[in-house]
Amino acid sequence: SELIKTADGGQISLDWFDNNDSSYYPDASTRPTVLLLPGLTGTSKESYILHMIHQSETLGYRCVVFNNRGIAGEELLTPRTYCAANTEDLEAVIHHVHSLHPSAPFMAAGVSMGGMLLLNYLGKTGRDTPLMAAAIFSAGWDPSNFSVLLFRHRQMLEKLFDMDLVMKARTVREFDKQFTSVMFGYRSIDDYYEDASPCRKLKSVGIPVLCLNSVDDVFSPAHAIPVETAKQNANVALVLTSCGGHIGFLEGIWPRKCTYMDRVFKQFVQAVFEHGNKIFSM
């Protein structure tokens, strides 16, 4: 684990799997690196993250997990958390990881809110990023579970917010109106939602991105998936399944171990790292 400081005095927790026993890439300076972004309150301990790390290990790659502020047991040093629209912390992490291994091929994978955050970053940066490519799984956002984080860091957050009022929120919209949109300086809740939606930014994505969604995902229903927008950007590919739920994609009568999402992740990162130059020149 590693803690890095942010410009505003906060801290971000990174969990590394260096894979120093890699026989495919024994040179650490050029070992391909995958940055993993968990969901809303997720950490490096989530099963889907551990599956990605395992898949990367078999291929000889290095992984680093980006834990959002206040997550993974870390204390908030400032009264600021995170949201899908604000990419400052992610930008700091990407710069930090790349600076440590500037010669290593580098890509990222985001799940649920982590996927939204990654897409918003890519829409903002275009081709101006050290990432070669990105994979997005079950992009969607449900802040209703955020209250767990608020209880844990209430004393710090009370420096800026009326937490009694925030905790009275009974809907996602009420919560975002009283807390998220205020924290990040939006004039209204609608302004925040517009900025948080990666749909508007897809046209600006400048590197290859693979997005896997299930049309029965309750957090990202079929009508909300930006199929037509994605068609306008040759860098973006949408893979849609008829079932799979939210971060599910289980396979077989007795689903165990590997899922369809795991297989897509493994095949995509391997294609990017081992055949990227050929693919990108097609």
Which strands make up the sheet holding 2-5, listed edge to edge?
2-5, 11-17, 62-67, 33-37, 106-111, 134-137, 209-214, 236-241
Q: How far apart are CA 279 and CA 55, in angstroms?
A: 21
Largest CA distance in the chain: 56
Q: Alpha helices, DSSP H only, in 111-238?
A: 113-125, 147-152, 154-157, 163-166, 172-175, 181-183, 189-196, 227-231
Catalytic residue among 15, 89, 176, 217: 217
Catalytic residue among 138, 176, 246, 262: 246
Contact assessment for residue 126 and residue 150, using Cβ atoms and an 8 Å cutoff = no
Instruction: Tell me if residue 246 is catalytic.
Output: yes
Catalytic residue among 13, 112, 181, 197: 112
Chain mean position to CA 168: 28
Contact assessment for residue 131 and residue 117, using Cβ atoms and an 8 Å cutoff = no
Contact assessment for residue 31 and residue 84, using Cβ atoms and an 8 Å cutoff = no
Instruction: Tell me if residue 217 is catalytic.
Output: yes
Q: How far apart are CA 157 and CA 81, in angstroms?
A: 9
Which residue type is seen at 200?
Answer: R
In the chain, % helix, strand, coil (3-state, to 5) comes to 40, 15, 45
Point out the residues that are catalytic: 112, 217, 246
